[in-house]
Amino acid sequence: MKTIKKPHQSTAHHFTYPDAVHVFHRADVKPEKPDGTVDIYVEHKVFASQEALDKGASQVDFASQVITVPASDLAAFNKLVQANIK
């Protein structure tokens, strides 16, 4: 599980969480497109703060984004990861 602390502007709640913690919990890699790129869909849960996450509080929001990378970069990354798995 990867976490990143950064402010979060909730469009649903019209509120900014200045100490928000984003917990990345899913990524979906789509097939390569004709232009040689790959879309990676990343989903993450947003918690009000690290303290809230540590205490088991419910998420305050959900966010997702699409990252487009060259297929060759993704292949090189996957090869690097596989080479370092012990």
| Domain range enclosing 47 | 2-84
Q: What is the CA radius of gyration of the chain?
A: 16
Number of domains present in the structure of the chain: 1
Give the per-residue pLDDT at 29.
92
Position 54 scores a pLDDT of 92
Evaluate the CA torsion angle 76, 70, 36, 38 in order and state its sign: positive
Question: What HEC string does 47-80 produce?
Answer: ECCHHHHHCCCCCCEEEEEEEEEEHHHHHHHHHH
Cβ distance 11 to 46 under 8 Å? no
| pLDDT for 1 | 55
Report d(CA 23, CA 58) in Å as an integer: 12
Q: What is the mean pLDDT of each run of 10 residues along the chain (86 residues)?
A: 72 77 84 96 89 91 89 92 84
